[in-house]
Amino acid sequence: MSVFRSIVVGLSICAGVAARSSAQDCSGATLLISTAAVTGLAIFDIATAPASVRHYNERQVAIAPIANLRDGSYGISVSLPLGRRRQPPQMQAPRPYRSPTTGFLLSFGSTTVPMGLGVLGGSTGGAWVFLGGIVVGPSVGHFYAGQVVRGLGTTGLRAAGAAVGISSLIGCFND
């Protein structure tokens, strides 16, 4: 219970929420709903990390300058792969291959390890580690895949969901 209480106190300080909120719900229904939403989004993010990495490995559009010194012509070549893959232009350095398994393991490990350490910590510091694991951890595989906007977006959604759920309990533990 001390980890849960530390999470409540830590998030209320971080969010700047007043001790008595009009959205207070001591029954825990709001917390339950937001927990289900945050957990569902975390599981979805972990499960889709390999697809993000596979998307990174596919070449979408290649743009390369063309210069023909003999004819004195120059331009830009744009190619969009519609069928079989071609070799990239010589001037373009190939992007390093990224493993979908590594993307999954990064997301899974960055979520579960901090959550476990946070539970074992049992203090305010442990609560922050736990929250970091559930909020940021699932997006690490998407960051690895170069999907920074997606990673930040889903991190923001999980942070907002956690803040709503926990702030609904602010004031319920004033003994």
Express each pLDDT in 39-53 by its tens digit.
Answer: 999 999 999 988 888
CA dist 71 → 74, 89, 90 (Å): 9, 20, 20
Average pLDDT over residues 110-124: 88
The CA-based dihedral angle spanning residues 56, 62, 63, 65, taken in that order and rounded to the nearest 10 degrees: 120
**Angular region, 28: left φ>0, alpha ψ -120 to 50, beta rest:** left
Do 64 and 90 belong together in one domain? yes
Helices (H), 16-172: 29-57, 100-121, 124-135, 140-144, 148-167
**Domain match, 65 and 25 both:** no
Judge if 106 and 32 occupy the same domain: yes
Each residue's pLDDT tens digit, 12-48: 544 444 334 445 667 778 888 888 889 999 999 999 9
Instruction: Write down which residue in 50, 71, 94 finishes a domain.
Output: 94
**Closest to 117 (Cα-Cα) out of 132, 103, 102, 107:** 132
Q: With respect to residue 107, please indicate whether it lies within any of the assigned structural domains.
A: yes
Handedness of CA 151, 153, 159, 165 (dihedral sign): negative
Domain boundary among 94, 112, 145: 94
One domain, residues 119 and 53: yes
Do 102 and 40 sit in the same domain of this protein?
Answer: yes
Q: What's the structural domain count of the chain?
A: 2
Q: Are residues 101 and 49 part of one domain?
A: yes
d(CA 147, CA 44): 15
Q: Are residues 47 and 6 in the same domain?
A: yes
- In eight-state DSSP terms, residue 138 is G
Provide the residue range defining the domain that includes 19: 2-58+97-167
Q: Are residues 145 and 123 located together in one domain of the fold?
A: yes
